[in-house]
Amino acid sequence: MTASTSGQAIRVLLATSSQLQSHLLRSAMRRRAEFRFHSCGMHASDIVDAMKSEAIDVVLLKPAAQQPEENVLSIIRRIHLTRPEAAIVLLHDHDGGQLPMDALRAGARGLFAFSEAPFRDLCKCIHRVREGQAWLSNRQVRQLLDAFAAAPSLRVINAKGKTLLTPREEQVVALVAEGLSNREVALELQLSEHTVKKYLFRIFDKLGISTRVELVLYAVSHNGTVGAERLPSSA
């Protein structure tokens, strides 16, 4: 059940240095009863103060073009660490360079560019990330998968460095992150497609996620050095 269907408005905070952007977005969201809109400056202290006075569900960040990327990433990391219950969406330009991908690693749950999608899609984005899902365009998913193509392996661990998945499950994650379909993963690991689906459901349950995109995003922020050697089919 989403916030709108339960009757509870989704509390959205827009952090931007542009008063015009804040005004335009506020005007648009006022017509949507499912949102309760707040705004503040694009500074860590402004955002933290705003989130202290109001329980925020989704944070929209729109940095200025001249704002240093490391500053933006620092803000995302701070929100993610201190308010993990709030989903972060980076509003970026189409040619945002490396910042969008780095934002995902820092803790952002979604990426949105008005040059690529209309306002109604931003509303969908807010609902999806509030529900715990990720929001990326097809182009950004391809970028994410391309980044993995250059990485030989990955490992999914928790904050204490403890491995969360079995060796076979890690193999499935590695191949999914490389962009392989369930059928291709099954062929690579010499398993049935049904068995691969069972592994994915088990992995989703362990990691608390529900989609392949979220699995890739999770792997990005928990990558390491485990090989993808074959295991016996009975593993």
Residue 61 · residue 74 · CB < 8 Å: no
Collect the ranges in the chain with pLDDT lower than 70: 1-7, 94-96, 147-162, 219-235
Clarify whether residues 106 and 168 are in a common domain: no
Per-residue pLDDT, 13: 95
Per-residue pLDDT, 233: 43
Clarify whether residues 191 and 129 are in a common domain: no
Residue 211: which domain range?
145-221
Rounded CA-CA distance 181/196 in Å is: 10
Per-residue pLDDT, 1: 39
Clarify whether residues 112 and 165 are in a common domain: no
- 9: helix, coil or strand? coil
Per-residue pLDDT, 175: 81
Which residue, 135, 160, 179, sits at the end of a domain?
Answer: 135
Per-residue pLDDT, 195: 94
Q: Which alpha helices (H) appear in the chain, and where do they start and end?
A: 19-29, 44-53, 69-82, 99-106, 119-130, 138-149, 167-177, 182-189, 193-207, 212-221
Clarify whether residues 16 and 130 are in a common domain: yes
Residue 141 · residue 117 · CB < 8 Å: no
Per-residue pLDDT, 180: 78
Per-residue pLDDT, 221: 61
Per-residue pLDDT, 31: 86
pTM for the complete prediction? 0.64
Clarify whether residues 127 and 156 are in a common domain: no
Which residue, 100, 135, 170, sits at the end of a domain?
Answer: 135
Clarify whether residues 51 and 90 are in a common domain: yes
Per-residue pLDDT, 93: 78
Number of folded domains that form the chain: 2
Clarify whether residues 149 and 131 are in a common domain: no
